[in-house]
Copies of this chain bind each other. A is one copy, B any other.
Amino acid sequence: MNTTFLEKLVAVQGASGDESRIKDFILNHIKKEQNTWKVQPKIIHGKGFQDTLLLVFGEKPTTAIFAHIDTIGYNIGYDNELIKIGGPRAIDGMELVGRDSHGIIETELMIIENENGSVNYKAVFERTIDRGTVLSFKPNFRENDEFIQSPYMDNRLGVWTALEVAKTLENGAIAFSTYEETGGGSVGFLGKYLYDNYDINQALIADITWVTPGVTHGNGVAISMRDKGIPRKVYLDQIIGIAKESGIPFQLEVESAGGSDGTALQESYLPFDWCFIGAPEDHVHSPDEKVHKEDIKNMIAIFEKLMTKL
């Protein structure tokens, strides 16, 4: 497994709301690589699409992969206080990086326990950092024979999966969505465009899930039967049927909580069917997100299969 490009992907900063650079990075990669792909997609972006990016392959697309390009992180508040973007785990001493009007910032998170039991987070730094400055986990990509461990496997691994599928995709769409970690509507306008222009109403969410007692490392990609949202059973049964027939290892996940671009699609006015599919990771929303390489392989394989069969 050649992970050179994945390592580059996770190093590009792009917390929710600040996705312009990761969008440009992906766009440049596509422009450079697409002549080696089986089919050259229509590339849709710019005005009306904010920092998202859409690819449409072939004349008969039926299904779209949604992969969110944003990450969790922190904003600087007043006096170097840290305010969460999405739901990052706060670990005392964790390294954060960013840039403000005075230059590059490398800092550490400090947990401050107040007398009333509440907790604040501060950036340890010699000067006051500009208000609103965006900080991300410092890149720290680790790999061995079995595992990859790095910040932001969630969801640069989903982005990478989509780009791997793109190499051979003949009919279908890929939507690189934004501000998934803070919720919202970028899947709304992406979905609307695909529905209005291509009659697409089937979605597969390429994202990363949690290792749990029911979903473990190395036992296959997780197909989520539900989280907070519940996919339509008719669509889910079809996906599980294709997965079984394929022989690709997979695990069925059933959760009571958690959401994704799938939940946002369901809550939109669009009649989209959706299903969340992704490798499970340990140390969720920390700089140490850990995923088994076999699960990554199976994640790519099942998306390839589903995009031809659905």
Contacts and interface: CB of A to CB of B under 8 A. Distances in A.
B16 A273 contact: no
Contacts of A188: 268-270
A226 interface: yes
A132 B75 contact: no
A226 to B, nearest CB: 6
Contact of A185 (B18, B50, B183, B269): B269
Identical subunits present = 3
A75 B20 contact: no
Contact of A226 (B17, B48, B255, B256): B17
B214 A78 contact: yes
Given A17-B226, A83-B256, A50 B132 contact: no
Given A51-B232, A51-B234, A201-B48, A192 B75 contact: no
Interface string A69-108: 0000001111000011100000000000000000000000
A261 B287 CA distance: 34
Interface of A: 16-18, 20, 47-51, 75-78, 83-85, 131-132, 134, 179, 182-186, 188-189, 191-192, 201, 212-214, 225-226, 229-234, 236, 252, 254-256, 266-271, 273
Nearest to A257: B83
The 5 A-B pairs of least Cβ separation, nearest first, read A188-B269, A132-B225, A78-B214, A17-B230, A18-B233
A189 B196 CA distance: 13
B50 A213 contact: no
25 contacts: A17-B226, A17-B231, A17-B233, A20-B234, A47-B201, A75-B226, A76-B254, A78-B213, A83-B226, A83-B255, A131-B214, A131-B252, A132-B225, A132-B254, A134-B233, A179-B230, A179-B266, A182-B230, A184-B229, A185-B266, A185-B267, A185-B268, A188-B269, A189-B269, A268-B269
Interface of A is mostly: loop
A192 to B, nearest CB: 6
A136 to B, nearest CB: 13
Contacts of A267: 183-185
Contacts of A214: 77-78, 131
Nearest to A269: B188
Given A182-B229, A185-B266, 5 more contacts: A77-B214, A132-B225, A134-B233, A185-B270, A269-B270
A268 B270 CA distance: 11
Given A191-B269, A254-B76, A267-B184, A232 B50 contact: yes
Nearest to A266: B184
A256 B201 CA distance: 35
B254 A77 contact: yes
A50 B254 contact: no
A168 to B, nearest CB: 27
B75 A225 contact: yes
A49 B232 CA distance: 12
